[in-house]
Amino acid sequence: MREFEKMNIGQGIDLYVLPTDKFKTVSISYCFHRDLDEYYTYNALVPAVIRRGCEGYETIQDIESYLERQYGAIFDVGIQKKGERHILRFSMDIVNDNYIPNGDTAVVAQAFYFLNRIITKPVVEGRGFKAEYVEQEKENLRNRIEGLINDKMAYSIERCIQLMCEGEKYSRYVYGSVDDIDAIDNVNLYDVYRDILATSPLDIFVIGDVDSLKLKTILENSLDVKRGAIKTIPETVIKKVGIKPREYVERMNITQGKLNMGFRTNILYTEDDYYPLMVCSSVLGGGPHSKLFINVREKSSLAYYAFSQLEKFKGLMLVGAGIDFDNYDQTIKIVNKQLEDIREGIISDKELDASKKSIITALKGIKDQPGQIIDYYLGNVISGSRKTIDEVIESVNVVEREDVARVCNKIKLDTIYFLRN
């Protein structure tokens, strides 16, 4: 796979283009970078309000009609948390001009003009957004935040992270806090939106059978935004020493306990040790081949599910298990035993090979999904990594048992969180 061609548009805007004939569509993502600061709830609300309408397309119905006329183009917005930064994304997938039967060769160019209009010319009312849209989206956001509790597994993971990272920006939920929502109105939200447009670093990714220089020209002609002094997003704080593990128990009317153990890996995503760490997490709890699956779920019948996952931008490893309430102590003991075995290099050839194959299969799968390709390289932009997907695959391939044991010794237990009856 070819790599992205990077072009600077000026004013804190970078264009990344991956010319490829692998896909019949062209995928575009505008990614605004924000610090995960006290306005994080505002950040989460802005894309939802913007998607409601713009000049010329004042309602969702108007937008849907336009997309249908553009041969079923797909438009979406989103908010992501990557380390201690917020990413506001505005994305489109459109049919490549080459596959349009009537010879229309302006669909891709029109997508850029449409995105510019959506992002820079929202429906306004007085000195702010349209109040009706803001109030409706505030309620939707409130429901989304409060609705997390209905997914007990996701809720327990989020609570473990919040307690583990208490006092750190990473503890803030990606969709914000209900405590902030009432104070938001159409005027102060519009002020935050204007700051996003003027000061946020902006990365624009394009994947498809396109000409990079033509896209640069189209973007320069279509993007109508007044930029100011571009903010520098602070680096995410990752390494932490002198950890004293803490335990938290939360009670709720549930039938299955949710155990979560949060670890500090003390390893940066850009370090060579990150690749053995990937294998370490997979050996521990990356699937049916893993120690947790075999020893906690199968042999001991202690867990309905058991997994390990990495949060690479914050340097965390999370272990989760769904267990009976009485199996709390025994499950923790067995999880710690699996980690101790890995630290001592007690890893079978089967475990090592299956773990590496699982990771490599997932990495190869990224190359078949434009959205995932963009997400991977957005991660590289954030971290400063220059590793291609193929280079990561090669780095994982050469990981040895001793490497896994060595990095496992860097991992420190920080927090145990248990959701029970």
| pLDDT exceeds 90 at position 415 | yes
In a domain, 238, yes or no: no
C-alpha span between 401 and 71 (Å, rounded): 52
In a domain, 211, yes or no: yes
Domain end marker among 222, 237, 260: 222
pLDDT tens digits, 200-247: 999 999 999 999 999 999 999 988 888 999 999 999 989 777 789 999
Residues 274 and 308 in one domain: yes
Residues 205 and 269 in one domain: no
In a domain, 232, yes or no: no
Beta bridge partners of 79: 88
- Strand 85-95 and strand 303-311: the pairing is unpaired
pLDDT tens digits, 275-321: 999 999 999 999 999 999 999 888 888 889 999 999 999 999 999 99
Residues 168 and 264 in one domain: no
- 89: number of Cβ within 10 Å: 20
Q: Is 152 helix (H, G, I), strand (E, B) or coil?
A: helix
pLDDT tens digits, 344-371: 999 999 999 999 999 999 999 999 999 9
Question: Residue 282: what pLDDT?
Answer: 98
Residues 123 and 196 in one domain: yes
In a domain, 34, yes or no: yes
Residues 15 and 149 in one domain: yes
Task: Name the residue type at position 159.
Answer: R
Here the CATH number for the domain that contains residue 110 is: 3.30.830.10
Residues 370 and 267 in one domain: yes
Residues 71 and 146 in one domain: yes
Residues 43 and 154 in one domain: yes
Question: Residue 321: what pLDDT?
Answer: 95
pLDDT tens digits, 146-200: 999 999 999 999 999 999 999 999 999 999 999 999 999 999 999 999 999 999 9
Residues 272 and 405 in one domain: yes
| Overall domain count for the chain | 2
Task: Name the residue type at position 106.
Answer: A
DSSP 8-state secondary structure symbol assigned to residue 298:
I
Residues 334 and 392 in one domain: yes
Rounded percentage of the chain residues whose pLDDT exceeds 90: 91
Residues 210 and 321 in one domain: no
Question: Residue 219: what pLDDT?
Answer: 93
In a domain, 102, yes or no: yes
In a domain, 228, yes or no: no
pLDDT tens digits, 60-114: 999 999 999 999 999 999 999 999 999 999 999 999 888 887 755 689 999 999 9
Residues 368 and 260 in one domain: yes
In a domain, 111, yes or no: yes
Note down the domain range covering 395: 246-420
Q: Is there a contact between 41 and 192 (Cβ–Cβ < 8 Å)? A: no
C-alpha span between 78 and 61 (Å, rounded): 19
In a domain, 229, yes or no: no
